[in-house]
Amino acid sequence: MSAVTAVSKNGGGGPKDPVARGLGAFSFALGVPQITSPGRVNRMIGVRDDARNRMWMRVVGAREIVAGVGIFSERLPKEWVWARVAGDTMDLALLAAALRGKSPHPTRTLAATGAVIGAFAADVYDGVRLTRDAADEPETGAEPVQIAATITVRRDREECYAYWRDFERFPSFMAHLEEVHATHGERSHWKARGPLGMTVAWDAQVTEDVPGERISWSSVEGSKVDNSGSVRFVAAPADQGTEIHLELRYAPPAGAFGATFAKILGEEPAIQCKDDLRRFKQILETGEIARSDGSPEGQLGLRQVKQRPAQPVAAEELDTVDDAGAS
């Protein structure tokens, strides 16, 4: 069995302001069709439905989804509401350009412009109110995200511990890692992929090592990614193998915005952790990893926007996976 939970202390359970919650829901209601059916939305607001306008419509939709997730990630999301104000300004400029370019249905475009003006007014009103409320509260920094995950592997504790203790094997089951190299003593150098192809690197050191039982580690002082964690190996009941109990703590790069943006892309550590443990289980139990052609690296939100029937992974990709598992 497996279970993954993630607790983020950034924001405290979503916005307390009902207007902000409504604006967040409105962002989702706009963003989803703008991304999934941009042509239909273009025709509905009376603008020319061509490749360029569909591209812009998807950009606007992605912006709305980002704003919606951001609003629901914080208790006083004043920055995200002001981001909506900036987005409204962009929308008004695009609609004005459509009218100047002789919109095929100017009445629809004018109606859409009126709707955006109404949203702009609501955003400005709530932005001012949230800014005033935030001024009455002490400023707090973004707190670290904490993740706990558990999975049962049908192998004994010593085997599970031995595979995990060899950090250079991590890229074989942690899809976001590019490489891990032991440096000296208990230290190692890590390089990982972030959202939108970004790369981050840091150094870590083992802080506790009890063979067959647990391993703890943390990033060294001055690392670009502040993180720490521990893994415990516990005998499962009825000789069913080993329970892997993983705990992680990390400070997201770029703070709350970085954490929110990663969630939108399906690349935040709670999702990665769940997929990594599944792959660890597969390697230990079968010697290989079952991968989908649709998402060979695990769950990514961007892959869900446009879906298609699954296809077998190409032979050369399977060879790469097998080589990684055997290393």
What pLDDT is attached to residue 301?
46
272 pLDDT exceeds 90?
no
3-state secondary structure of 300: coil
Lowest mean pLDDT among 92-106, 165-179, 205-219: 92-106
**How many whole angstroms separate alpha carbon 284 and alpha carbon 281?**
5
Do 62 and 260 form a contact (C-beta atoms < 8 A)?
no
**Burial (Cβ within 10 Å: 0-12, 13-18, ≥19) of residue 95:** buried
The residue that leads in pLDDT, 256 or 292, is: 292
pLDDT in tens, 29-44: 999 999 999 999 999 9
What pLDDT is attached to residue 197?
63
Do 182 and 188 form a contact (C-beta atoms < 8 A)?
yes
Compute CA 285 distance to the chain's CA centroid, rounded to the nearest angstrom.
Answer: 28
DSSP 124-167: HHHHHHHHHHHHTS---PPPPEEEEEEEEESS-HHHHHHHHH-G
Q: Is 0.85 topped by the overall pTM?
A: no
The residue that leads in pLDDT, 17 or 151, is: 151
226 pLDDT exceeds 90?
no
Do 85 and 127 form a contact (C-beta atoms < 8 A)?
yes
Map tokens 């709530």 to a residue. 126
pLDDT in tens, 38-70: 999 999 999 889 999 999 999 999 999 998 888
Do 132 and 124 form a contact (C-beta atoms < 8 A)?
no
pLDDT tier at 97 (50, 70, 90 boundaries)?
confident
Beta bridge partners of 147: 6, 248
